[in-house]
Structures are given as structure tokens and as C-alpha cells.
Amino acid sequence: MIKTIRGDFAGVVGQEGVPALSFDEDSLDVRPVLNDLAQLIRERKGDKPLVILTGEVHDVTSHVLLPQVAMQSASMADPGFKIAHGIERSHNLLDILLRDRDPREVSANLTLAQAYVQYEHPQGAPITRRNVMDYCIRHKIPVQAVDTAGSPDGDGFLDQSEPSTRALVEIYAPKLLGEQIPGNTAEGLRLRNLMALHRMKQDIAHTGADVYVVPYGGAHLLGWKRMEDMNEGPFPTKESLGQLLHDDADVDVLILFANHPRFGTEKIPEDVDPGLLGQTVVIDGLSPQNFWQKPENTAEVNQDLGVQEAAFLREMARQSGGTLELSDEVSQMAAFEPDVITDSPADWGAERHYES
């Protein structure tokens, strides 16, 4: 149900209240979120394209699934909406995925979503991410990667050898030309947000999207009080992707902040623009079940994690009365069903990964 968080939110006192979608934490039924989001989208969608910015902890399945839920909610709000999807990956991701492939193996005119399903295997909740891409393929929703180019070495630095990323640095951080810029530091986040806004607006213009859904990690949404993992101070709200979207005259924004231990509203800086908070919806009650296929794991361990993740998605679909659409990959893993599928603290694992 929709309720309101009032009083001291993100260190901001005296706000009239921030809407919250709250539901039973013991349930994996996505239907309440679908229905409430559809209602919110109907209320928030005006004459401008509506960008739905969903936050996530990168290995938490319910967070990674939020874009699919948001896209389905947008269709429920108005079946005539044109929907497009952006992802927090290097904007040249398609080239990266196909770079070392034998051209004879690659289908002609392969879309990013199709290439992602075939060739990409991210570490955080990989089965769920491919399920979202499969949803886009089946519903003919265009997908575009909108982030700066990442280093070919995969070391987390911005790739200044890529022309548009270098041009971005030349304009907004000329003193760092040729320097290593980690993507998860304050300067890296600032540049990535600027690139994301530019790419998203390009994609909206190209697709004619009425609703544009894009997920990003926590600090991008509203800023961050302190980025402990990087041993840095606050990332200011004024440089957040949420603020950039809020200030842009060409789009409207709806921010879905998935409340989560170590990713909670207490992380948000005190200087959040009240207007930006008014475009924010907190979601409470999402399952914290996480799946992280670490590269140092054995192949057998990662395979088992994939089987567990698929089983978890099937349980979500079952509790949702079949409204949650599953990919063939997820459905076909049913033969490897684990003996037990639960959602309890004992099963969440000791380690978490919270990326920006």
C-alpha cells in the first residue's frame, strides 16, 4: 500500500512527507508494487517524457528486477505508452560484447538486449539481469547503455581513449585529461551522471519514449552522505543524476529508492532539494536476497548460485500469480530446483556488495 514517510527523512526535517510503497516483507508477490506503481505513473506522467530512475544494490534480485516491474507498471498505466530502457553500463557495450566474436557466429542486426542475453554474464544477479533483457526483447522495448565508456581492462577507470568519454573529460574536468579517473569516486560519479543524462536524452529523442526506465546505484540517485567503500566524503546532491534530471526542462523524473540495510534513506545527504524529494518514492519491504557470482568462485559454485537465483525468481512468479514474466533461461532451470527455497536471514550470506 502507499503510505508516507514523514518527519526526519534523509536528515531533512519538516518535509510534508515522502511517498512510500510498503508491503509485507515476508511476501515475494510483486502485484502490490505493480498496481501502486501504475497508479503513481498515471499521476506523475504529464506532457514530458517521464524518466523512472530505480536504485539498486547490484546483487539483490528484487532491486535488479525493479526496472522490469516499472516497465510492466507503465504498460498497465497506459498500454499506449512507448517505453524504453537504459542500463548502467558503458555506452559502447554492444561493441564490447561483439568485439572478439567470430562474425559468422553473430546474427545480423543484433540488438543490445539480444547480445546481452547471449553473451553477457555480470557478477551481480546475472540471471535476473538477463530476465529483464528478455522481457524487453519480448515486448519490443529498445535498450541502450548510457554510462561513460569503461576501461577495456575492467579496472573501473573511465576509458579516455574512447572519443565521447574523452570529450566529456575535456569539457567538465580538463585537468584530468589523460589521468586515471576511477568510476566509483566523486569525480567519476559526477562525469558518469553527466554522460548518462546526455545519453538518456538522446535515446528518448531517438525512440520517442513516453516512459524511460533506467537503474543506477545508490549515490547516483540523490547523492550520498559518505562513500565509505571509497574512503571519501559526501557525494553532493547537486551533482546526482536525480538532481540533473529534476533540473532538466525536457523531462520529468520519478525516483524509486529501494530501502535496504546499508542502502537506507539515512545515507541521503541533508541538502536534498525539496522538489527532488517530492519526485522520490521510497520502496520498503523488497526481499534482500542476493546472488553474487564472484570471479574467484569455482565454476561449480557460480553454477549453483545461478540455479538458486532462477529458483528464487520462479518463487517470486509463483507468489505473484504468474504476473511476473520469466525468461526461458529461468524456466528451463526448473530441472535443477534446489531442495529448499527460502528467504530468511540465514540464507542471505555474510557478504554484500554495494556498488555505485
Give the model's pLDDT for residue 103.
77
Does residue 337 have a pLDDT over 90? no
In this predicted model, what pLDDT tens digit does every residue of 16-61 receive, in sequence order?
Answer: 567 677 767 778 999 988 998 999 999 999 999 999 999 999 999 9
Q: What is the pLDDT of residue 260?
A: 80
In a domain, 352, yes or no: no
pLDDT higher for 100 or 52? 52
Q: Which three cell numbers stand for residue 69?
A: 516491474
Is 161 among the domain residues? no
Q: What is the pLDDT of residue 339?
A: 44
pLDDT at 355 over 60: no
Q: Phi first, then psi: what are they for 29, rounded to 5°?
A: -80, 115
Residues 6+ apart with CB under 8 A from 110: 94, 98, 118
Q: What band does 354 get if pLDDT is binned at 50, 70 and 90?
A: very low
pLDDT of residue 197: 97
**Domain membership flag for residue 320:** yes
pTM over 0.85: yes
Name the average pLDDT for the chain. Answer: 86
Determine which of 5-14, 73-82, 235-244, 308-317 has the lowest per-residue pLDDT on average. 5-14
Provide the domain count of the chain: 1
Q: Is residue 253 part of a domain?
A: yes
Range 148-167 average pLDDT: 90
Domain residues for the domain of 281 are: 2-148+183-347
Q: Is residue 266 part of a domain?
A: yes
The beta-strand segments (E) located in the chain are 2-9, 12-22, 50-56, 83-90, 143-147, 211-217, 252-258, 280-284
Q: 335 in a domain, yes or no?
A: yes
pLDDT of 341 > 50? The answer is: no
- Say if 77 falls within a structural domain: yes
What's the average model confidence in pLDDT over 183-193?
93
Amino acid letter for position 278 = G
Is the predicted pLDDT of residue 346 greater than 70, yes or no? no
pLDDT of residue 75: 97
pLDDT per residue as tens digits for the range 24-35: 777 899 998 899
Q: What percent of the chain has pLDDT over 90?
A: 61
pLDDT value at residue 327: 95
Kindly write down the DSSP assignment for every residue of 333-345, as one continuous string: GGGG--S----SG
Kindly indicate the confidence band of residue 166, based on its pLDDT and cuts at 50, 70 and 90.
very high
Q: Name the grid cell of 57.
A: 544494490
238 occurs within a structural domain: yes
